[in-house]
Amino acid sequence: MDKETFRKFGHEFVDWVVDYLDSVEDYPVRAQIKPGETLNRLPDSAPLVGESMEHIFKDFREIILPGMTHWQHPSWFAYFPANNSPPSILAELLTAGMGAQCMIWETSPAAAELEEKVLEWLRQMLGLPEGMNGVIQDTASTTTLVALLTAREKATGFKSNRKGFQEKLFVYVSEEAHSSVEKGAKIAGYGTDNIRRIPADENFAMIPAHLEAAIVADKKRNLKPACVVATVGTTSSSGIDPLKPIGEICRSYGLYLHVDAAYAGTAAILPEKKWMLEGVEHVDSFNFNPHKWMLTNFDCSVHFVKDPGSLIRTFEIHPEYLKTDVDALVKNYRDWGIQLGRRFRALKLWFVIRSYGIEGLQKVVRKHIHLAELFKGWIEEHELFEIVAPVHLSLVCFRLNDSRSEEELNILNRELIERINQTGKVLLTQTTLKGKFVLRMAIGSRTTEERHVHQAWEIIVSMAKDILGKNNVNI
Amino acid sequence: MDKETFRKFGHEFVDWVVDYLDSVEDYPVRAQIKPGETLNRLPDSAPLVGESMEHIFKDFREIILPGMTHWQHPSWFAYFPANNSPPSILAELLTAGMGAQCMIWETSPAAAELEEKVLEWLRQMLGLPEGMNGVIQDTASTTTLVALLTAREKATGFKSNRKGFQEKLFVYVSEEAHSSVEKGAKIAGYGTDNIRRIPADENFAMIPAHLEAAIVADKKRNLKPACVVATVGTTSSSGIDPLKPIGEICRSYGLYLHVDAAYAGTAAILPEKKWMLEGVEHVDSFNFNPHKWMLTNFDCSVHFVKDPGSLIRTFEIHPEYLKTDVDALVKNYRDWGIQLGRRFRALKLWFVIRSYGIEGLQKVVRKHIHLAELFKGWIEEHELFEIVAPVHLSLVCFRLNDSRSEEELNILNRELIERINQTGKVLLTQTTLKGKFVLRMAIGSRTTEERHVHQAWEIIVSMAKDILGKNNVNI
């Protein structure tokens, strides 16, 4: 592709992206296709001769786009948000254009130093302890795994790396923790049988007394507790594990403490939400995802550690072809995680934080929290619905409850969410809390306004009435 | 940022990227800054109030850009290339704009199905066995780790995942294998002590007889061989482990065989290079990086497996909040690797393959191989230099050799590469082969032409003469 064709399509694609984000509301939130539909529209083999960008772009719009679920839709209330934003997209364009591979300082010094600085900004913004060092990982799954590996190495005197993981170590998490802890425990070799699932209280927060009891019981049996993963903002209900007592327990018994605040961490930039992190001074590592609620394109997961030495000792390698003269003076982030190769992810974070400013980001987060409060109020006032978990932030867990048996309610609510999502106008996801099938309304898309939340509410009520009408006749 | 400001800067950034790539030759290849220089030019805290994009973009050009090493420079001969290309950058722009998170089919059906189809195209293009299934991982490090984990689970009857990794298993690699095998063996819990480093022959290829002897010796001692990682195109010298005899050994003794062809894999699209993969039918998994030599932006590492069932059994998790109605009908790639969250990486691959066509990609790879042959010829004809490893593809390993002691030669060559790189006009990296300090000339940037290779050659010769002149006086 010659320079001017590249420029022409670059401009055309920018216009497309700007217009897409401006009109994304007009698309159904969820792709309206069946398994195999896209697959069947694609040729079975690669073309021998190059095709024109006109043709490729046309196919993108006609074949790919109708099969996409629109994560940037203002009526996206599913999972957690994965926001992008204009400054973030602009930075991603520069990143793609430069095509730098940021594995070590020498291969892109400014990228390494910008990463160091921007993460120091974030540390301050969240109020994490002075001296914690940050690194950008791809996802919270990876960060949890990295923490579990660091804990494993610390617990075995950094011997597993060398001699193989031969010990049986135990990991403690709330029963509400994310599945990535289970996945990480598999990968790191702990094994899922060696995860202790600590009961959560009625607010879906880990009960510290149960944690301590479990650790004490294991120690009595000569088992080896190694690591606690606490969650600030659980996936199911945004439950908040109390870091202070958990941290004190970890200190007393010598356990590594990792905090997964993937979604909720962003809210710690608000003074009124800093309470969530009380006790964070006891933490060994802390993670949150700017790619969720901080308007930064996926992927960008931020990992803070108290002791970079342990992290580096877990991962470092020193082949001749990667040595450089400045190794002793700089941060080589390849030794701070799993992958050798690294994208320049600090750039988009820098663009976003500078473009919005701290106050601009606070405003966005406060807007979502306000909308969740509003939605919560509507639920509470309505006789057919109930709130199922505290609304700490922007996630509202609720269900239809007209006083039938739990089993019937689960069936009804399962039907309800399917009917809501089939409209294509909104997208919610579900979870299970203490055996109850629950709908999750996760508010947090950059462009979500009150009217979108209100429209969702109207759809929810109307579908609920439909289902109840039908079921009352049937039963 | 309002819509029209976004559009304006989008166009401006596209122009910048087009012009940057068109003139990247004018920059020094390697950043001309010292550790801390970028860091010191960045403010210590985030701005409270948002800043204008004019200001941010200005700082990008004035603070960040001078600290970047230019991976897309046509005189980039370091490490391996990490090419981007106009169609790939254009696709990355769309990907960033849509901001889709592709963890499971339901969250972006077209992304999942495009990934499936494009990887089938690649399977055909490389001539991998029919029926192998592909998935995109981020890097070869991750893919090697994923393979080591799958091997671990297969060798323990999928029990390590559940009960913890308690067995001592052994991994076999050539002494020339990439450090990511060592890192993966640490992470997966094998331990570096349980890696058997099999000697390589004079062509830096694993010697199958030594592999077999090591496996037999371990089995006699009741140790458990689990996995062989073979390399097609080693990092140091592009050595090619013979897959046929290695594969037969793995079949005979029941070992898992993973192939790391991160760099060289792309060359298998050439009929004249298909010999590299002879015996690939014995392979359990195979990896190569389109982000190296196939003009696709980092990150994009392609992973093919013979038995997706084993891979999925190693990684799958099933929390309620991730369940969907179509799980039985579709591929949920979150279960094919470590991360839950996934970028839409198939799009850029689709854009690149369609835009160039198979023949277009072959032409690029052939050009680089031709340039390497040319450079090799110049080295061979010059009395002061020698070729140190076979030139199978586009990597030339050479050194200055004027018949001094090996120790002196190592010192001289170390000085030589530093002097070459200090010019800022080219960038090479080094390695060690059988104790010899060696310079690596890795040809493979998209825009590298004969004149760039020739300029590099002139610099190399001139610097060598300088050093020899100086040293002859000194010694």
Over pLDDT 70: what percentage of chain B?
Answer: 98
Q: How far is A278 from chain B (nearest CA, A)?
A: 22
| Among A51, A107, A330, beta carbon nearest to B355 | A51
**What confidence tens digit (pLDDT) does each residue in B418-462 have?**
999 999 999 999 999 999 999 999 999 999 999 999 999 999 999
pLDDT value at B86 more than 70: yes
Q: What is the mean pLDDT of residues A140-146?
A: 98
Q: Which helix (H) or strand (E) holds A305?
A: strand A301-305
Contact B398, B439 (CB under 8 A): yes
Lowest model confidence (mean pLDDT) among A48-52, A165-169, B265-269: A165-169
Is A89 inside a domain boundary? no
Is A193 in contact with B236 (Cβ distance < 8 A)?
no
- 3-class secondary structure per residue, chain B: CCHHHHHHHHHHHHHHHHHHHHHHHHCCCCCCCCCCHHHHCCCCCCCCCCCCHHHHHHHHHHHHHHHCCCCCCCCEECCCCCCCCHHHHHHHHHHHHHCCCCCCHHHCHHHHHHHHHHHHHHHHHHCCCCCCEEEEECCHHHHHHHHHHHHHHHHCCCCHHHHCCCCCEEEEEECCCCHHHHHHHHHCCCCHHHEEEECECCCCCECHHHHHHHHHHHHHCCCEEEEEEEEECCCCCCCECCHHHHHHHHHHHCCEEEEECCCHHHHHHCHHHHHHHCCHHHCCEEEECHHHHCCCCCCCEEEEECCHHHHHHHHCCCCHHHCCCCCCCCCCHHHHCCCCCCCCCHHHHHHHHHHHHHHHHHHHHHHHHHHHHHHHHHHHHCCCEEECCCCCCCEEEEEECCCCCHHHHHHHHHHHHHHHHHCCCCEEEEEEECCEEEEEEECCCCCCCHHHHHHHHHHHHHHHHHHHHHHHHHC
Distance from CA of B278 to the nearest CA of A (A): 22
Residue of A nearest to B36 (CA): A113
What integer is the mean pLDDT of A5-24?
98
Q: Which tokens hold the place of A94?
A: 């520069």
A471 pLDDT band, cuts 50/70/90, is low
- For residue A289, tell me if it sits in a domain: yes
Residue A316 confidence (pLDDT) above 50: yes
Minimal CA separation from B127 to chain A, in Å: 12
Question: What is the per-residue burial (b if ≥16 Cβ within 10 Å, else e) of A81-115?
Answer: bbbbbbbbbbbbbbbbbbbbbbbbbbbbbbbbbbb
What is the band of B474 on the pLDDT scale with cuts at 50, 70, 90?
very low
- What is the distance in angstroms between the CA of the first residue and the CA of the last residue of chain A? 65
Which residue among A30, A90, A161 places its CB closest to the CB of B192? A161
Predicted structure pTM score: 0.97
Residue A228 lies in a domain: yes
pLDDT in tens, A380-389: 999 999 999 9
Cβ distance of A90 and B189 shorter than 8 Å = no
> Are the CB atoms for B433 and B388 separated by under 8 Å?
yes
- For residue A273, is it left (φ>0), alpha (ψ between -120 and 50) or beta? alpha
Percentage of chain A modeled with pLDDT above 90: 94
CA dihedral B325, B327, B329, B330 (to 10 degrees): 120
A474 burial via Cβ count (<10 Å: 0-12, 13-18, 19+): exposed
- Of A17, A169, A418, Cβ closest to residue B93: A17
CA distance B95 to chain A (A): 9
Q: Judge whether B162 lies within some domain.
A: yes
Query: What confidence score (pLDDT) does residue A267 get?
Result: 98
Q: Would you call A242 helix, strand, or coil by DSSP?
A: coil
- The answer to whether B105 contacts A35, with C-beta atoms less than 8 Å apart, is yes
Whether A472 shows a pLDDT value over 70: the answer reads no
* pLDDT surpasses 70 at B472: no
Per-residue pLDDT for B475 more than 80? no
Q: Is residue A39 part of a domain?
A: no
Decide: residue B202, CB within 10 A, 0-12 exposed, 13-18 middle, 19+ buried. Answer: exposed
pLDDT of residue B395: 98
Domain hosting B163: range is 100-344
Burial B322-334 (b: 16+ CB within 10 A, else e): beeeeeeebbbbb
Q: Are B371 and B453 in contact (CB under 8 A)?
A: yes
Q: Are B138 and B299 in contact (CB under 8 A)?
A: yes
Q: Using only C-alpha atoms, what is the Rg of chain A?
A: 24
Q: What residue of B is the nearest CA neighbor of A234?
A: B321
Rg (CA), chain B: 24
Judge contact between B364 and B444, C-beta under 8 A: no
- A247-274 burial, b at 16+ Cβ within 10 Å, e below that, comes to bebbeeeebbbbbbbbbbbbbbbeeebe
Q: Which residue in chain A is spatially nearest to B84 when comparing CA positions? A: A99
Six token digits for residue B170 = 């052994």
Residue with tokens 């140190």: B388
CB A153 within 8 A of CB A164: no
Residue B110 corresponds to which tokens in the numbers above? 């077209």
HSE at residue A4, side-chain half, CA atoms within 13 A, is 0
Answer whether B395's CB lies under 8 Å from B238's CB. yes
Residue A295: closest CA among A277, A269, A274: A269
Pairing type for strands A169-174 and A195-198 reads: parallel
C-beta of residue A266 within 8 angstroms of C-beta of residue A227: no
**Phi, psi (5° rounding) for residue A267?**
-65, -15
Please answer yes or no on whether A107 and B50 come within 8 Å at the CB atom: no
Contacts across the A-B interface (CB distance below 8 Å): 485
- Residue A407: count of CB within 10 angstroms of its CB: 10
Predicted confidence (pLDDT) per residue in A194-239, tens digit = 999 999 999 999 999 999 999 999 999 999 999 999 999 999 999 9
Closest by CA position to A235, among listed A280, A176, A276, A169: A176
Residue A355 is nearest to which of B13, B56, B341, comparing CB atoms?
B56
- Beta-bridge mates of residue A133: A305
With both helix axes pointing from N to C terminus, report the angle between B208-220 and B243-253 in degrees, rounded to the nearest 10: 20
Token digits of residue A265: 């961490």
CATH number of the domain encompassing residue A297: 3.40.640.10
Distance between CA atoms of A232 and A205, rounded to whole angstroms? Answer: 9
State pLDDT tens for residues A401-447. Answer: 988 999 999 999 999 999 999 999 999 999 999 999 999 999 999 99
Dihedral through CA A27, CA A30, CA A36, CA A39, nearest 10? 50
pLDDT digits (tens, 9 = 90+) for B205-262: 999 999 999 999 999 999 999 999 999 999 999 999 999 999 999 999 999 999 999 9
CA distance A196 to B159: 18
**Residue B179: inside a domain:** yes
* B338/A194 CB distance under 8 A: no
Torsion of CA B447, B448, B449, B453, to 10 degrees: 170
Q: What confidence score (pLDDT) does residue A425 get?
A: 97
Higher pLDDT: B402 or B44? It is B44
**What pLDDT score was predicted for residue B325?**
75
Best of B338, B343, B445 to disrupt the A interface (most A CBs within 10 Å) is B338
Binned at pLDDT 50, 70 and 90, residue B279 comes out as very high
**Interchain contact, B18 vs A3, CB within 8 Å:** yes
Question: Which chain A residues touch B350 with a CB distance below 8 Å?
Answer: 56
The partner residue sitting opposite B11, judged by closest CB among A1, A5, A14, is: A14
Q: How many domains does chain B have?
A: 1
Structure tokens at A331: 């941060």
The reply to whether B42 falls in a domain is no
Residue B78: inside a domain = no
How far is the C-alpha of A121 from the C-alpha of A346, rounded, in Å? 12
Q: Tell me what the pLDDT averaged over chain B comes to.
A: 96
Dihedral of alpha carbons A440, A443, A447, A451, sign? positive
